[in-house]
Structure 1
Amino acid sequence: MSEPVLAEIYDLHSHTTASDGRLTPEQLVHRAVEMRIHTLAITDHDTTAGIGAAQTEIDRAGLPLRLIAGVEISTLWENHEIHIVGLGIDKDHPAMVAFLAEQAERRLQRARMIAERLEKARIPGAWEGALRFAQGGMITRGHFARFLVEAGRATEPAKVFKHYLARGKIGYVPPQWCTIEQAIDVIHHSGGQAVVAHPGRYDLSAKWLKRLLSHFALAGGEAMEVAQCQQAPNERTQLASWAKQFGLLASQGSDFHQPTPWIELGRKLWLPAGVTPVWQRWTSPEETKERAV
């Protein structure tokens, strides 16, 4: 009797030390294999710097893992920061390289302003601390949060955001990101698919979230994340319904940054019936048939 075929696990949203993840690209791909991931997308914030090292390690170690080149682009829509994931991009496409260089400069300027505001609030050393935690990767607010925890200002990063880095707090600096249209355009130019990341996390009412999804779809976006490790009751079903309503493909991802009791690569990642997976168009009919046998 043949052994049962395990379902393929896709995790299409993860981070490395190239941005605000805690694992190196090499560590991440090994952990993905440990967690029985079949296809992993590395989607660092506004950088593709971790993808080459990850693929090199997969090839060196002969890991049974398919790597999707991705990126998570920060955008601004109606005064809300919205993240757009690009999947299957050509990380070396000139348009993407130039675009991410611009995003990196925006991120650097914002980080300097955050550090200046914290300095004025009598919290010295924030710039140096954030750089130390970034370890040469793309600097993010998460690195400031880790510094402030280390400095004894809070017990965990979530509380840092609430008391220091959220809108209206002393370390908050309004973002100056690109538009959703610009993000979609560069993703398409580099051969990828555009995906709305974690739509349930933007603190938008149902009315405004549907406006966002409509705007995204009309701008040419292809997909939205429907499944994550942690979701409110019925959120996955509701997001699946909106994916169908707005003609969007469905994606899934852990948004993995580090191992925690509640977020892990591949955990609880499944799509409700009736949606079309974003990866359905990545394989030929022959490959799909072969895996189904």
Structure 2
Amino acid sequence: MHAQTNADLHCHSTVSDGTLAPEVLAARAKANGVELWALTDHDEVGGQQRAMDAALALGMPYLTGVEISVTFAGKVVHIVGLGFDHRHPSLVDGLRATRQGRGARAREMSDDLAKVGIRGAYEGALKYVGNPELISRTHFARFLVDAGHCSDVSEVFRRYLTEGKPGYVPHRWASLGDTVRWIREAGGVAVIAHPGRYGFTPTEEYALITEFMAHGGRGIEVVTGSHTSADIVQYTGTAQEFNLLASRGSDFHSPQESRIDVGRLPDHLSGQLKPVWTVLEDRIHWPA
């Protein structure tokens, strides 16, 4: 496999905040030409075996994956783990601890929305949740759209659920060091997800990358569903400057909500970059 491989190593199923089951998502990825796939649900590896079994049955190579929320410089940053043992105790236990704060946070979000006249948001959001441990802002957003409070998810995040707006409740996520350690101990590679999304200053971004690497992080997403062509150029340079492995993934959640379909990223990695999957050859699950 090389830089032009149609790898999609970032997407979400009903096990976290996607709208498609792992098996349905696997079939969609295969139909869209994916040559190497990873399901990366938020803070949860409960869908890994299902995704792997479905991918292999379709003749599609598979890498285990997860996307873990981290607090860094006052913002939530996402770290993708790839190619790990999804049953490894330190990873499984660490993710469980990370998830435990979501329920209380969701009830606080609902209480805050009630103050502006939106009642029953917690119960409403629960109807969209595949895994109650992973209730998130995305589930509240779907409730707000379907209940007629907003026309689409973009409007939700303009009016609610973001800092300074009704329904916003911060959550204390895992530390960067712990997250990278969980992934490494389970045999995987840690990757900074969609770096163009965070709005960091150059100094903050440098601090993130250097601390990430100091903990043993090795990769960065260059081609993603949320990166512009200018972002791709920028983070191609970043990967080269810091000698980071390059990854790509759609960050697909839903046919109705996502800008890019799984497997349909318009750009490949530059041939000047070293794809993350080249160091994970022995961790790829191949069809029989």
Assess same fold via TM > 0.5: yes
Per-residue CA deviations over 1:166-200 (Å, capped at 9, x if unaligned) read 11111111121111111001111111110000000
1:117 to 96, 112, 120: 112
Per-residue CA deviations over 1:219-271 (Å, capped at 9, x if unaligned) read 21110000123432321111011112122111111001122583111222411
Whole-Å Cα distance in 1 between the matches of residues 172 and 83 of structure 2? 26
Tell me whether 48-57 or 90-99 shows the greater mean CA deviation. 48-57
Partner of 1:103: 98
Extract unaligned runs of 5+ from structure 2.
283-288
Whole-Å Cα distance in 2 between the matches of residues 269 and 181 of structure 1? 31
Whole-Å Cα distance in 1 between the matches of residues 131 and 219 of structure 2? 31
Per-residue CA deviations over 1:39-97 (Å, capped at 9, x if unaligned) read 111000001121122223335xx311112111100000010100001101211111111
Matched, 1:268 2:266: yes
Are the counterparts in 2 of residues 47 and 100 from structure 1 also a CA contact under 8 Å? yes
Are the counterparts in 2 of residues 253 and 269 from structure 1 also a CA contact under 8 Å? no
Whole-Å Cα distance in 1 between the matches of residues 5 and 270 of structure 2? 15
Tell me whether 205-214 or 27-36 shows the greater mean CA deviation. 205-214
1:162 to 158, 165, 186: 158
Extract unaligned runs of 5+ from structure 1.
1-6, 285-293
Secondary structure of 1:234's match?
helix
TM-score (norm 1): 0.89
Partner of 1:70: 65
Partner of 1:177: 173
Matched, 1:250 2:265: no
Bigger Rg, which one:
1
Secondary structure of 1:173's match?
coil
Q: Number of paired residues?
A: 276
Whole-Å Cα distance in 1 between the matches of residues 124 and 72 of structure 2? 30
Whole-Å Cα distance in 1 between the matches of residues 200 and 158 of structure 2? 17
Task: Describe how 1:1-293 pairs up with structure 2 within 5 A.
Answer: 8-59=5-56, 62-136=57-131, 138-259=134-255, 262-266=259-263, 267-283=265-281
Whole-Å Cα distance in 2 between the matches of residues 170 and 283 of structure 1? 46
Tell me whether 106-115 or 92-101 shows the greater mean CA deviation. 106-115
| Equivalent position amino acid for 1:111 in 2 | A
| Equivalent position amino acid for 1:47 in 2 | E
Per-residue CA deviations over 1:150-174 (Å, capped at 9, x if unaligned) read 1211111121112111111111111
Tell me whether 7-16 or 227-236 shows the greater mean CA deviation. 227-236
Deviation at 1:142, TM superposition (A): 0.2
| Equivalent position amino acid for 2:61 in 1 | R
Highest RCO, 1 vs 2 (Cα 8 Å, sep ≥ 6): 2
Runs of at least 4 residues off by over 4 Å: none
Whole-Å Cα distance in 1 between the matches of residues 237 and 163 of structure 2? 31
Whole-Å Cα distance in 2 between the matches of residues 58 and 215 of structure 1? 34
Give the percent of matched residue pairs that are identical in Structure 1 and Structure 2. Answer: 39
Are the counterparts in 1 of residues 70 and 175 from structure 2 also a CA contact under 8 Å? yes
Are the counterparts in 2 of residues 39 and 67 from structure 1 also a CA contact under 8 Å? yes
Are the counterparts in 2 of residues 228 and 268 from structure 1 also a CA contact under 8 Å? no
Secondary structure of 1:226's match?
strand
Whole-Å Cα distance in 2 between the matches of residues 264 and 18 of structure 1? 18
Whole-Å Cα distance in 1 between the matches of residues 95 and 272 of structure 2? 35
TM-score (norm 2): 0.91
Tell me whether 273-282 or 227-236 shows the greater mean CA deviation. 227-236
